Amino acid sequence: MTAQPRVVRLRCGMRAVLAPCEAESVAFGVFVKSGSRHETARTAGISHFIEHMLFKGTPSRRAYDITCAIEGRGGNFNAFTGEEQTCFFAHLPSECLGTAVEILGDMYQNALISPDEFEREKGVIIEEIRMYQDEPDSVAAENLQRALFPGHPLGAPVAGTEASLRPMTPGMVKSYMRSHYRPSATCVVVAGAFDEGEALRLLEAAFAPCGRAGGRVRRAAADPGSPLARPPVPETRVEKEVAQVQLALGYRTFGVGDSRRYAATVLDAVLGSGMASRLFQSVRERRGLSYDISSRLQFFSDAGQFTVSAGLERAKAARALATVDRELERVCRSKVPRAELERAKTYLIGNFRLAHEKVLSKMIYHGSAMTTFGRIVPTQEQVDGVRAVTADDVLGVARAIFRPENRALSLVVPK
């Protein structure tokens, strides 16, 4: 029987999750409470910038040395930045845990922020931003989030903008890291095949310097208040050289700590997850209005968003939007039939179980749970939460979410 994951407090004050399971590999991740919502207009995009800079070498390792140490053992490593966290991770054969811990620990604590490399990477990120600006679905999604949370960092693009990045300096990045890259705001996760005693020894050795850092830690920037304080912008429309209309329809929701999150997750599955969902059947299969349409539910600590996305022929866009609105009205008007409800719950549970066969998915799941909830969330708790959802729960949460005052529409249309 696989041991249950547990949380250990390292001597430096950092929390560590040990999640052993049967596998031939091990995944190691470092999760930091640093994302776009922790930034100001002046520092917009700095968390994502730091994600890039951590791969540029340390005093003892060149960037090329880091790459060869991981990839040379058949592994892979990467990172991602979101609204509320940044994660760095490596996935390697099980005997290589020491390599992953040593290298990511070095990157986390000793990243070189050299002026030359800094300016070079700034140009790379600006090109990344421009790449996304050429993708109509990315533009529609970014504009939608800005419309749902106007004037709040939660609505700002994670990568920042050219205007915020160009004046950024190495000193600003170092100052931000001193404020946010702290043991109290960081957790590390080991998942896969490993010896727990050896893993703890490696973690203590790699992150011990974190607890010995001198000087006073600067206070992080104050949160600007609730992202729900201002009403959404009802509609945004951008003209681009595109062949289709890209539609992103969104509704603001409650945060991840709300007890209705499981009902909202089932609601999302009923409406837009998979080819059996209502939106796919109604918009594509019965009316042929779009090649693909789906919904997505995303939670933050104190807010969230339900999004419907589709690419549409211009002549069909109005009809498709009307069809989507009718489906949202229908789910608010009457209960989801028993068979459909059970199908949606079975789909969610099965999808969740399949994802957790992957060591990397386990690691990210536990790290995100620690960053969000401050505790391990047992997988059975998630399964039980979905199973307990009733048709009344889905009806109630649909009526709470799909209200005019929660709505925003983002369109990218052909010139």
51 has catalytic annotation:
yes
Rounded Cα gap, residues 400 and 412, in angstroms: 28
Rounded Cα gap, residues 357 and 21, in angstroms: 9
- Strands 407-414 and 235-240, bridge-based pairing: parallel
The residues with which 308 forms a beta bridge, in sequence order, are: 249, 295
The residue to which tokens 């789906």 are assigned: 294
Contact 411, 246 (CB under 8 A): yes
The residues with which 186 forms a beta bridge, in sequence order, are: 32
What is the identity of the amino acid at 124?
Answer: V
Strand order, beta sheet including 235-240: 235-240, 407-414, 245-253, 304-312, 290-299
Pull the structure tokens for residue 82: 């979101």
The residue to which tokens 């992953």 are assigned: 100
Rounded to a whole number, what is the distance in angstroms from the first to the last CA of the chain?
Answer: 60
Indicate the burial class of 73 (C-beta count within 10 angstroms; 0-12, 13-18, 19 or more).
middle
The residues with which 166 forms a beta bridge, in sequence order, are: none
Query: Which one from 22, 24, 39, 51 is the annotated catalytic residue?
Result: 51
Active-site annotation, residues: 51
